[in-house]
Structure 1
Amino acid sequence: MCRSGHDDMVRIHVHTLWKLFILLVTVTVVSSIRCYECENGVNPACGKYFKAYQFKAQKCGDGSPYYKCALQRQTEADGYVGIARVCYEMGTLYGLNETDGCREWTNEIGFTALYCFCSTNLCNKGSNPSPSVVLTLTGVMSLTISFFYP
Structure 2
Amino acid sequence: MKFCLFFIACCLVGLVTAQIPDSVIVLQNRDGLCNSIWNPLVKKLQDRDNFQVISHTVEQTFYEPDRNCVITLIGKIGYQFELIITKFDVLGTTDSTGKPVECHDFLKLYDAERCDNAKLLKGINFKTGLCGTLKESQVGNLIFTTCANKLTIQFKTGLFKDHRTGFSFELRQYPWSNPSGGPDCDPSLNGIAAGVWKDGTFNEFQNSWNDQPIIPGYVPGGVDVDYEKEIDGISCYECQNCPVEPFDPDKDGTAVGTNCYVCSKVYDEEYYVARRKCFHRTDYLNVIDSIREIDQPFLGCQKTADDFGRTVNYCFCDSDLCNGSSRSMINYLILSVTLFLTLIQRIYL
TM-score (norm 1): 0.48
| Higher relative strand content | 2
**Higher radius of gyration, 1 or 2:** 2
Q: Which has the higher contact order (CA 8 A, sep 6+)?
A: 1
TM-score (norm 2): 0.23
